[in-house]
């Protein structure tokens, strides 16, 4: 006899969805969480980050207000403490919603640190959220590993003086001067947030352009906009050590070009790794590769009773993909007629002050297999005209020249994530440029430019 049909370790984006769909389909389900219900996205990721983006954006709207006739009190100031308190209240509300949603679905909730003892047995012990919890042993026919990921710090002297995104959300005060290392999603987003709130931000990265892996033209355009947002960029520069110069309140960052910078905080935004420490993977015989659990998008590991979804697989590392994997797995196990997602045309956004939204292939990826027609448009959004705010929008379509199918859509500028989410439907449906052109524009909008780009900017032959 097993205690559960399905037991999920980790109540984040993937785990919660998997547990809920399994329970809805009649399975007896348990779930363990050691730190925060709702996981990274709700507590230390997407949600608090987006609230911070809104806070920074509000500051810019106040600056622009006089240009639209508003008499606002100036100079305005930003109260970090009251914002963080408001953000925390909202997160607490969401934690409650997650707990009640799971309970209403008839799922047993365990607060504590779970570890595998073998392929069907696990133990739940005390954790930060439940320090007094007594150890419980549980058996399950199927176990789902959904423990997510955790920030990685660079291996340099003094790296313990740096903070990561986990700590930024709870800093007692906003750093006046901050150095951010890494220009991936987190580095770029926090550069925008903190600069928008009034901090002096220095952004260090190894490559000539930020956002490695994105379309080159998008990266070039973004680099210009990062400058316009008052952030000092240090491309091609790596940190070599950090020194404490103020009893933990000030840090000196020394870089590989011999320069040094004195700041209130250094944020390492240098990637994340799967959260597998003390999970008992060896005891259960679960295979790992380069620090993450080896599993396909169907969640199957090398152990038939154990599945892995979300960041622990280190493939897509986004909330909607973790949710989709959790949902598909639950249906595959308990209702095989279920819903499928297409991961080929994954929309992505970087919530910088001028946000990036992309779906499908970059020009460089597409040119490996296709002859291309590239359509681009750069223009100043109407909202910026009266306040005379600099910074152009970039919109770009990557089209197969022979089939006319739109392979990729890219945008940098206000509302890019919202616009690209909708265009992702067209790219997923493999619509052609002609079909985009048949769509009547909605005027005046920014998005209309995606259906009014008539002439290719350039033709690119496959490499
Ligand atoms: C700063 C930041 C911003 C982000 N912004 C976005 C965004 O805008 N959009 C987006 O799509 N994605 C974003 N992400 C990524 C997104 O948060 C993750 O991809 C997503 O949360 C992964 O879901 P998951 O279910 O795999 O893991 P998680 O959400 O990390 O959940 C795993 C849970 O497992 C728990 N756990 C771990 N080990 C154990 C154990 N042994 N026992 C019990 N519980 C355990 C953890 O406490 C955690 O709650 C962001 C991430 C960060 C860090
Ligand atoms: N908007 C979103 O959807 C969103 C937001 C935040 C995070 N996320 C997810 O979380 C993941 C983690 O975010 P992240 O920004 O930490 O990772 P990332 O992989 O996007 O960026 C890591 C950065 O660290 C740099 N780096 C790595 N090793 C280094 C070294 N030794 N020296 C100097 N620089 C080094 C990389 O060059 C890169 O700039 C992302 O990949 C993404 O999937 C998504």
Q: What is the pLDDT of residue 379?
A: 98
- The length of the chain, given as a count of residues: 463
Instruction: List, as one string, the DSSP characters of 265-277.
Output: EEEE---EEE--T
Token pair, residue 342, equals: 């297409």
CATH of domain 159-270: 3.50.50.60
Minimum CA distance residue for ligand 2 atom 18: 184
**Domain 2-150+273-341 classification at class level:** alpha beta
Cα 191 off chain centre by? 15
Which residues on neighbouring strands pair with residue 359, listed in sequence order?
Answer: 409
Cβ atoms of 251 and 245 closer than 8 Å = yes
Q: What is the pLDDT of residue 381?
A: 96
- Ligand 2 atom showing the smallest separation from residue 238 Cα: 33
pLDDT digits (tens, 9 = 90+) for 24-60: 999 999 999 999 999 999 999 999 999 999 999 999 9
Is 292 a catalytic site residue? no
Token pair, residue 400, equals: 């197969």
- In the block, which residue shows the tokens 């609230």? 51
Is-same-fold flag (2-150+273-341; 345-458)? Answer: no
Report the alpha-carbon distance of residue 201 to residue 357 in Å, rounded. Answer: 23
Residue range 360-373: mean pLDDT, rounded: 98
Closest C-alpha to 21, from 338, 340, 343, 306: 338
Closest C-alpha to 202, from 255, 258, 244: 255
Sketch the domain layout of the chain as residue ranges.
2-150+273-341, 159-270, 345-458
Minimum CA distance residue for ligand 1 atom 2: 45
293 lines ligand 1 (CB under 6 A): no
Report residue 1's pLDDT band, with 50, 70 and 90 as the boundaries: very low
pLDDT digits (tens, 9 = 90+) for 409-456: 999 999 999 999 999 999 999 999 999 999 999 999 999 999 999 999
> What is the third-level CATH fold of 345-458?
Enolase-like; domain 1 (3.30.390)
159 lines ligand 2 (CB under 6 A): no
Report the alpha-carbon distance of residue 121 to residue 125 in Å, rounded. Answer: 13
Token pair, residue 415, equals: 């509302």
pTM, full prediction: 0.97
Rg (CA), the chain: 24
| Percent above pLDDT 70 for the chain | 100
Instruction: List, as one string, the DSSP characters of 120-142.
Output: TEEEEE-BTTBTTPPPEEEEEEE
Cβ atoms of 137 and 42 closer than 8 Å = no
Query: Using CA of residue 57, residue 61, residue 63, residue 67, what is the dihedral sign?
Result: positive
Report the alpha-carbon distance of residue 309 to residue 295 in Å, rounded. Answer: 8
CA of 13 to the centre of ligand 1 (A): 7
């Amino acid at each position: 006899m097993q205690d559960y049909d399905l037991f999920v370790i980790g109540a984040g984006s993937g785990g919660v969805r998997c547990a809920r769909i399994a329970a809805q389909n009649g399975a007896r389900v348990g779930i363990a969480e050691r730190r925060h219900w709702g996981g990274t996205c709700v507590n230390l990721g997407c949600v608090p980050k987006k609230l911070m983006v809104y806070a920074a954006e509000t500051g810019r709207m106040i600056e622009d207000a006089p240009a639209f006739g508003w008499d606002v009190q100036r100079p305005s100031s930003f109260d970090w403490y009251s914002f963080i308190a408001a953000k925390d209240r909202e997160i607490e509300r969401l934690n409650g919603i997650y707990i009640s949603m799971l309970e209403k679905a008839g799922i047993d909730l365990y607060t504590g640190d779970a570890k595998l003892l073998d392929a069907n047995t696990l133990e739940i012990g005390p954790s930060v959220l439940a320090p007094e919890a007594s150890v419980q042993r549980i058996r399950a026919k199927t176990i789902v590993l959904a423990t997510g990921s955790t920030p990685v710090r660079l291996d340099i002297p003094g790296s313990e003086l740096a903070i990561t995104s986990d700590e930024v959300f709870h800093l007692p005060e906003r750093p006046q001067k901050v150095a951010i290392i890494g220009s991936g999603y987190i580095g770029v987003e926090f550069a925008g947030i903190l600069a928008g709130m009034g901090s002096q931000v220095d952004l260090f990265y190894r490559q000539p352009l930020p956002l490695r892996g994105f379309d080159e033209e998008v990266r070039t355009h973004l680099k210009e906009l990062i400058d316009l947002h008052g952030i000092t960029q240090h491309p091609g520069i790596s940190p070599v050590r950090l020194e404490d110069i103020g009893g933990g309140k000030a840090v000196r960052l020394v870089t590989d070009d011999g320069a040094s910078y004195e700041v209130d905080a250094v944020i390492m935004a240098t990637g994340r790794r799967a959260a597998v420490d003390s999970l008992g993977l060896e005891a259960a015989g679960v295979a790992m590769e380069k620090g993450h659990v080896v599993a396909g998008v169907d969640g199957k590991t090398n152990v038939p009773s154990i599945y892995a979804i979300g960041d622990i697989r280190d493939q897509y590392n986004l909330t909607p993909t973790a949710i989709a994997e959790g949902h598909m797995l639950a249906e595959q196990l308990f209702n095989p007629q279920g819903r499928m997602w297409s991961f080929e045309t994954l929309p992505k956004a970087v919530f910088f002050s001028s946000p990036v939204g992309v779906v499908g292939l970059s020009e460089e990826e597409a040119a490996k297999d296709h002859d291309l027609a590239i359509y681009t448009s750069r223009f100043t959004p109407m909202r910026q005209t009266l306040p005379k705010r600099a910074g152009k929008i970039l919109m770009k379509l990557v089209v197969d020249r022979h089939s006319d199918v739109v392979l990729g859509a890219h945008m940098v500028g206000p509302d890019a994530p919202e616009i690209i989410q909708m265009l992702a439907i067209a790219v997923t449906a493999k619509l052609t440029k002609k079909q985009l052109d048949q769509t009547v524009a909605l005027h005046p909008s920014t998005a209309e430019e995606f259906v009014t780009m008539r002439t290719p900017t350039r033709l690119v032959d496959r490499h």
